[in-house]
Structure 1
Amino acid sequence: MNLSIDQLQALVWAVQAGSFSQAAKQAGRSQSVISTHIANLEADLGVQVFDRSTRIPTLTPEGERIFQEAEFILQRREHLIQMAHSFEKQHESHIVMAIDEIFPECLVGKLLHEFSLHFPHTEVEIYFPLMDDVEDLVEQGKVDIGVSWRQAPSRDSLRFTPIGSVPLVLICGPDHPLRDVSPITVDELRKHRQILISGRNHSLSKKTLKLSLESWYVESHWVSMHMVMQHIGWAFVSKYAYDNFLHKDQLALLEIRDTQLRDIDQSVHIDVITSKSKHIGPALHWLIQRFQTSVLP
């Protein structure tokens, strides 16, 4: 058995065009070439692909299955060629990303869609850790690129590219004691349990947002809002997460007027993070540039 791509292509052309003559015309071949390729295919397979008892040949039941397989093989052949061209351009074959949950997910989806069009043959793996856990993964070489809160001081082994900031809001449950307090002060917040969005080692959240003497830590803005709904505590959360939370009508948004609270940075600065020792290929370079234009304020 000696199948050729030309035989499979002739079969697909004939089926898609509706006849051998039309297939020849569309493909710029003679009808005899199309007919010969299909006859040789049938001979090599030992299967009658077309029923020629009618004026226009039609696929046999076996031919239907063979056509589907031929079409799939040709599609994968084209995919292989395009993938090889991508590698020839030195596009990365695989990229691992770590994106802090605070980065708006709607922007992540849009950006990745564009990436898939520019680099269709680069496989992508995405993690969603938080805060300094992102930097840890980049520094350890477990991910190629990270997007996370800016830390101070920054690590010497990493490269930071600013891409904007994400605003935070202060929330509590509708029946929480803070709901009836005005103005909200740091001293008042310290009386009540705080739900802190935090990475695994808690260092960044402790340095930047911890106010209460009693705190619970959680690795999700979404889960923290559910906890606030249950009056477990109050929290600072991403405004993007709050705006898109399905049950935000069951949360109370607290206005910040106290001078001490105003001194707390109410917007989180976001960086794209890469290792200084990491080669930046075309796909990584595209991601860094695209994150910079991701419409964060």
Structure 2
Amino acid sequence: MYTLEQLACFVTTVEHGSFSAAARALGKAQSAVSQQIINLEIDSNQRLFTRTGRYPELTEAGKQLLPYAQAVLAQQTLFEQQLCLLDSQQPARLTLALDEGIPATGLKDVLITMAAEFPGLAFETLSASSADIIELVQQGRAGTGLVFSSLEYPSLLHFDSVGTVTFDILVSPLHPLAQHRPTHTDQLKLHRQLVIGSRNQVGSAFNYPLSPDVWQADNYYMLNELTKAGLGWAMLPQHIADQALAEGTLIKLPVDAENLSWHANVDLIQHPGDAATRAGRRLRQLMQGLL
């Protein structure tokens, strides 16, 4: 039966073009590499190389078997990576939950770095409201979360402040508030407010309702669409509303209400299980520069 060492010699010879080059790459004697390939040919009952020229060339059988040998060695590498993760007590998977109201354009660079530093580590991303993310991390369904700041977190969660996001009060240009400039927040209470809710009905600490007439959505993109439809006014993150503002389907409340723009603090929260691992700590470090 063939061995992994035989397959490694076979594939390395193909990749480096000769038995001597493969031996140097593998740190073996050339005779040892040649013998491993001969043994593989005997075990498989196939001739893999022609040896009539200066350099060995793959036979048709060799060409057919090469991708399968490469696949076996790739699986071996993945298996060894998982063993390393187990030996170092690293998680096999990290789950990051993000509030889509927080811009995460730099997230791909974070994931590229994590993939390079922790090969074999599976990664999952979830999207939810901040209130839901806090619950997901508390329950251990997500190990790390990026949320708008809460006045109080469950006692076991780790958290750090990582930046701010700018919000504006926005309406459709056809909305009554766009026609009559509000001079006081009490005038906002006369019109329906569109706010972020959560799946578990827990209210958001920062996006609280001012109006008695409230419609809820669990994500800012739906809130954006409802606001564009003229169904109410909403406080929306600038990066989500930018396109609608450019198209003229949303406007900021007129000048007298400009002081209602504000900056929401953003926190990175982490379950103690993730915070205790090297991969979890590295993710936390990389996320510090996201905003």
Question: Could you tell me which of 259, 262, 277 is aligned with 1:281?
Answer: 277
Q: What residue is the counterpart of 1:230 in the other structure?
A: 229
For residue 167 of structure 1, give the secondary structure of its aligned residue in structure 2: strand
Q: What residue is the counterpart of 2:110 in the other structure?
A: 111
Aligned mates of 2:69, 2:218 — CA distance in 1? 49
Q: What residue is the counterpart of 2:84 in the other structure?
A: 85
Matched, 1:142 2:141: yes
For residue 222 of structure 1, give the secondary structure of its aligned residue in structure 2: helix
For residue 267 of structure 1, give the secondary structure of its aligned residue in structure 2: strand
Q: What residue is the counterpart of 1:35 in the other structure?
A: 34
Q: Per-residue CA shift, 1:20-69, capped at 9, x if unaligned? A: 35444655555433332222111101122224566654322321121111
Shift of 1:184: 5.2
**Worse overlay, 154-163 or 48-57:** 48-57
Aligned mates of 1:77, 1:246 — CA distance in 2? 53
Shift of 1:282: 1.1
Shift of 1:183: 4.4
Structure 2 counterparts to residues 1-297 of structure 1, below 5 A? 1=1, 3-24=2-23, 27=26, 29-52=28-51, 56-183=55-182, 185-205=184-204, 208-243=207-242, 248-255=247-254, 257-258=256-257, 262=259, 266-275=262-271, 280-294=276-290, 296=291
CA contact (8 A) 2:160 2:267 kept: yes
CA spacing shift, 1:205–1:33, aligned 2, 3 Å: closer
Shift of 1:175: 2.4
For residue 285 of structure 1, give the secondary structure of its aligned residue in structure 2: helix
The code of the aligned residue for 2:281 comes to H
For residue 123 of structure 2, give the secondary structure of its aligned residue in structure 1: strand
CA contact (8 A) 2:173 2:251 kept: yes
Number of aligned residue pairs: 291
CA spacing shift, 1:178–1:145, aligned 2, 3 Å: same
Q: Per-residue CA shift, 1:77-116, capped at 9, x if unaligned? A: 2333333334333322222222222221213333222222
Q: Per-residue CA shift, 1:190-246, capped at 9, x if unaligned? A: 232222122224443487431222221111211221222222222111122223669
CA spacing shift, 1:225–1:94, aligned 2, 3 Å: same
The code of the aligned residue for 1:133 comes to D
Aligned mates of 1:168, 1:60 — CA distance in 2? 66
Q: Which runs of 5+ in 2 are unaligned?
A: none
The code of the aligned residue for 2:4 comes to I
CA contact (8 A) 1:102 1:221 kept: yes
**Worse overlay, 51-60 or 92-101:** 51-60
RMSD: 2.9
Q: Per-residue CA shift, 1:126-166, capped at 9, x if unaligned? A: 22110211122222232222221222244334333222221
The code of the aligned residue for 1:282 comes to R
CA contact (8 A) 2:173 2:250 kept: yes
CA contact (8 A) 2:110 2:286 kept: yes
The code of the aligned residue for 2:283 comes to L
CA contact (8 A) 2:98 2:125 kept: yes
Aligned mates of 2:101, 2:195 — CA distance in 1? 13
**Worse overlay, 26-35 or 267-276:** 26-35
CA spacing shift, 1:83–1:141, aligned 2, 3 Å: closer
Aligned mates of 1:147, 1:167 — CA distance in 2? 16
User: Percent identity of the aligned residues?
Assistant: 27
